[in-house]
Structure 1
Amino acid sequence: MSQTPTVAQLWQDVDDLVTAIAQAPDTQQAALISQLGEAKHKLNMAVDPMARLPLEIQSLIFLAVPPSRNTHPYPPHPPPPDPLSTPMVFLQVCQLWRDIALATPQLWCNLGMVDLPRSPKYSNLCGYWLSRARSLPVSLSLRGFLALHQDVQDLVAQYSSQLESLTLGLVVPDATLIDPDTTLGLEHWRGLELSSLKNLSLQASDPASFGSIRRWLDVLAAAPMLSRLELDNVFFEPENNQELFPSPLRLASLQDLELGFPFMYDVLGTNGSSSRILRHLTLPALRELSLSVLDVGYGELNAFISRSSPPLESLHMAIPFNWSLSSLVQFLRLIPTLVSLHLSITSPDPRDAAKLFLLFDTLNTADFLPNLHNVEMYADLHVPVDYEQMLRLLTFRRTSCPGRLESFKLQIPEYGPGTPIPPSDHLKSGLRQLMEGGLSLHIGHPSENLL
């Protein structure tokens, strides 16, 4: 029975082959180089613990390596085809690690392409990257000034049927210079096969027009599996020709629609998005809705909810100046499934802030939002907090509603009209009893709880 060679013998085999290659004629070089590769592999198997693991375990270890540090602005960006980024760095360690990386298609399913346009060499490199994902779903993030080269458009088209997530991030040096048709290649996106697309995100560094709603509806119609749509700083041109919209587009799989981030828009004037697109959508599966700019009337908002009849559970909403309490209440009554309600009210008008406490009276009824568990309100208050009313509301919601209230936050900006007066000792005691009973309760600045 042959004995397993020692590490010293394996090293000697490698040294002997290196010497032989240096002395051999050209006709023998290829065979000897092949033998050298096999000898190195045997040596690696003997000295490298990684090499003795099954390929499945090796792949899991590689997949557990944290991605390269994100140097791009929010939101997180997939790895770029950079030699120092994961997983490209695996290819440069040794032949074994290269083989493992190339045999693990899950490593190559996410790709970020930044600062377009680039040379054809760049898109070729991205093509090699995506080919290693084989037939798995892929996620693409394209960021920069998206005057896409034809070779990049061709690459996206090649993998469009595998696209599971697509992010188009536009850096806007001057929104007035943007031509959506050429900058975003709208005609190109409208023609893609997006049968696997589940997540679509359109983002701009500053508010920008993304062109015609009609054209983007055509893009959405090509994505029947779409479950999440994010529009951040994205606004659409008004459509005056109603013949272009014979009926709202029905997206049966869409569960999460984010039209900007209400807090960021109201406070900083950024991260807004037009809600006009709601006129043209029917979303029967919608569970989460975020509205940063309410630039449609409540009648259109109610019509959207009525025709969609969604199982909506979470609503983030910025309240416009001079808002109507009755209109808001009527709208919320259409959503009895609501579990989490987040309202942002930053109007400087004291009358608008006073309506907030009138809303509390409506919440203090069992048939209004019966399944509500979480309430968060961001309010630039110019009126005193009615703690007695708040105690009644919270006690009622904890004890007399089908959906037992679990958390309540009333946050006031630190740069606002000042810290509100804390509750009296008697009312503070009652509120703290609710907290001891399990209610998460916060009143005051984000960094300071008056309770």
Structure 2
Amino acid sequence: MRFTRLPELLSSMAEELNDIARTKYTNIPSSNTPAPLVDHGDIRCIIRRLSGAMLELDDALGALLRFKSTLNDSFLHHTRLVSKINDIPTEVMGSIFSHAAKRITGDEARTPICSIEQNFTQVCKRWREIAVASPFLWNLIKLDFQEEKDEKITQPSLELLARSGSVPVHLTIFTRSSFGFLRQEYGEILDLFFKKCASVEIVQSQNHPFEKSHIQGLINSIPRLKILTLTKGGVTGDTLQTFQNLQHLSRLRLRLISLSMSDVEAFVSVRWGSLKSLIIDGTPAFLIKDTINEKFPSLEALFFHTDRIDVAISPSSLVKHTKLRKLGISVPYLEYSPLGRSTNTATYRLLDQLDLPLLNTLAISAASSQHLDRLAQYDRDLACPLENIEILIGSAGSARVTMVDESMVQSILPKAIITKGHPSRVLSDLYAEWLAEYTPY
């Protein structure tokens, strides 16, 4: 029996069983009370038909098992796949692996690329040979110190570190304790990794603040650090001053706590010549000055969530930046008026003073139709209209009190997307690009 007839067979059997179920016959009495005669011929017919259907099903299952066995034997003994892989030059396969590695984003980017099986097939062996000889594939390393373990937890990662050759490493550190305690307990091991790091992400499961000594330790260990992400633990105003020594940073993500406006002003007044992307997950205050182009000359992306935004610009001046392409402004509260009165907040006053010729993506909090109207007018006034607009409301880290809904956005600003109850998509995409764009050479 050919397995290709299986769908036809099953359909036929279904009709047969339905037909059997519809067959009328007299029930067999369950007692000695008088009852009509039973039509034994009907019952025997039903039994024969059911037995025949079961035999056909057994034949079909047997055919499937034989076909599966044939496929397995053919796959294991067929050499054509291996020969095709062997015909691909190593440098071409290496380029394929490189492209795949750079496209890994999100949580997957935190996991070392080490899932190539050793003895799967000859094809995978060929892949593994090339992968082992491609150091850039092993530049993503994760150290998990969240559970009570000894130093043996680093052994697999040490193998990846050795395999990464001279390629700069991206290191993600998960810890339940403060980073300072981690340095005390595992200082020697961390220094082994820091020697080759160009990118560090520190994820603390608890909100331990990062101290000046922690940041200074990173500076001393990785003087040419390119990417730094500090998650959960906040940075105080006093510690923020230490970041001025990280002048080789191209991407920085952090959360600011317990700081004054003077601390913020000191931060934005320092010249960050190499910084291309800045994400501030939360800050009591943020300051926009007309010197942003001078102090952040390479900045291409800026996203900040702030309780308060100040604009230190005269009414006749403009915030000019020649390279900024992505801007995210997230605030928890915005003024709005159900009666249509003016909604003249600092956030939306800032729009009137922006001069960003390369801006193509804007994520911003909105709380009313007036805000959407101003955004639509801002987009129309641009020489090159925005490619992406994201409206932030609800628990997306933005306007908590809002009258905005999807139908309103669709009617006033149809090109915009609305994010409610989730992290900003612009922010998520921006952070995912950090590793995808990072070239480990």
Matched, 1:377 2:373: no
| Other-structure match for 1:290 | 279
Q: 1:423 to 1:279 in 2, by over 3 A?
A: same
Query: Given the superposition, is the C-alpha separation of residues 406 and 446 from structure 1 closer, same or farther in structure 2, using an over 3 Å criterion?
Result: farther
Letter in 2 for 1:394: A
User: Match of 2:380?
Assistant: 398
| RMSD value, Cα | 5.1
8 Å CA contact 1:105–1:136 kept in 2: the answer is no
Instruction: Please say if 1:166 is aligned against 2:171.
Output: yes
Q: Is the 8 A contact 1:233 1:273 kept in 2?
A: no
User: Matched residue of 1:216: which SS?
Assistant: helix
Q: Which runs of 5+ in 1 are unaligned?
A: 1-43, 138-162, 173-177, 261-271
Q: Secondary structure at the match of 1:234?
A: coil
Higher relative CO (CA 8 A, sep ≥ 6), structure 1 or 2?
Answer: 2
Which residue, out of 337, 340, 363, partners 2:326? 340
8 A contact 1:339–1:371 mirrored in 2: yes
Given that residues 258 and 290 in structure 1 are in contact (C-alpha distance below 8 angstroms), is that contact kept between their aligned partners in structure 2?
yes
Residue number in structure 1 paired with 2:26: none
Task: Trace 1:11-410 onto structure 2 (pairs within 5 A).
Answer: 47=79, 49-50=81-82, 53-54=86-87, 56=89, 63=97, 74=107, 76-79=109-112, 86-87=115-116, 89=117, 91-93=118-120, 98=125, 101-102=128-129, 104-106=132-134, 107-114=137-144, 118=149, 123-133=154-164, 135-137=165-167, 163-170=168-175, 172=176, 178=177, 180-185=179-184, 188=188, 194=194, 197-210=197-210, 212-220=211-219, 222-236=221-235, 239=238, 248-251=244-247, 253-260=248-255, 282-295=271-284, 298=287, 305=292, 308-320=295-307, 323=308, 325-327=310-312, 333-334=318-319, 336-337=321-322, 338-347=324-333, 359-364=347-352, 368-379=355-366, 381=367, 384-386=368-370, 390-391=372-373, 394-395=376-377, 397-399=379-381, 401-410=382-391
How far apart are the structure 2 equivalents of 1:308 and 1:325? 17
Distance across 2 between alignment mates of 1:55 and 1:359 = 55
Hey, what's the Cα distance between the residues in 2 that align with 1:121 and 1:190? 13
Aligned mates of 1:98, 1:128 — CA distance in 2:
19
Distance (Å, rounded) in 2 between the aligned partners of 1:258 and 1:295: 16
Contact 2:290 2:318 in 1 (8 A): no
CA offsets per residue over residues 402-426 of structure 1, 9 Å max, x none?
Answer: 45333333332289556448999xx
Q: 1:302 to 1:231 in 2, by over 3 A?
A: farther
Identity fraction in percent: 14
Distance change in 2, residues 1:398/1:60 (3 Å): same
- The answer to whether the Cα contact below 8 Å between 1:364 and 1:397 also exists between their aligned partners in 2 is no
> What TM-score do the two structures reach when normalised by structure 1?
0.54
Secondary structure of the residue aligned to 2:82 is helix
Quote the offset at 1:207 in angstroms: 1.7
Q: Specify the code of the residue in structure 1 equivalent to 2:416.
A: L
The 8 Å contact of residues 409 and 441 in structure 1, kept in 2 or not, is answered as yes
CA displacement at 1:192 relative to structure 2: 6.0
Q: Greater Rg, structure 1 or structure 2?
A: 2
Structure 1 CA distance for aligned equivalents of residues 264 and 350 of structure 2: 30
Distance 1:192 1:329 in 2: 50
1:107-160 deviation per Cα after TM superposition (whole angstroms, max 9, x unaligned): 544443445664666544544444344x242xxxxxxxxxxxxxxxxxxxxxxx
1:259–1:291: 8 Å Cα contact kept in structure 2? yes
Opposite residue 198 of structure 1, the aligned amino acid is: A
Q: Which amino acid aligns with 1:254?
A: L
Please say which of residues 96-105 and 199-208 is displaced more in the overlay: 96-105
Distance 1:99 1:393 in 2: 54
Give the Cα–Cα distance (whole angstroms) in 2 for the partners of residues 273 and 75 of structure 1. Answer: 29
Rounded to whole Å, the distance in 2 between the matches of 1:112 and 1:422 is 40
Scaled by the length of structure 2, the TM-score of the pair is 0.55
2:275 & 2:224 partners in 1: Cα distance? Answer: 13
Deviations 1:54-98 (A, max 9, x none): 47459559949989xx9xx94643238xxxx612x2x23368855
Cα distance, 1:284 vs structure 2: 0.8
Counterpart CA distance in 1 for 2:99 and 2:374 is 51
Q: Deviations over 1:313-345 (max 9, x none)?
A: 32211121xx35544889x95552333221112
Q: d(CA) in 2 for partners of 1:237 and 1:217?
A: 14
Measured in 2, the distance between the counterparts of 1:407 and 1:124 equals: 44
**SS of corresponding position for 1:404:** coil
Deviation at 1:228, TM superposition (A): 2.0
The alpha carbon displacement at 1:219 in A equals 1.8
Residues 372 and 307 of structure 1, relative CA distance in 2, 3 Å threshold: closer
How far apart, in 1, do the equivalents of 2:224 and 2:281 lie? 25
Contact 2:264 2:285 in 1 (8 A): no
Seen in structure 2, the aligned counterparts of structure 1 residues 274 and 302 have a Cα distance that, compared at 3 Å, is farther
| CA distance, structure 1, for counterparts of residue 377 and residue 335 of structure 2 | 29
Could you say which residue in structure 2 is the equivalent of 1:441?
416
User: Could you tell me which amino acid in structure 2 is paired with residue 131 of structure 1?
Assistant: A
Per-residue deviation, 1:231: 1.3
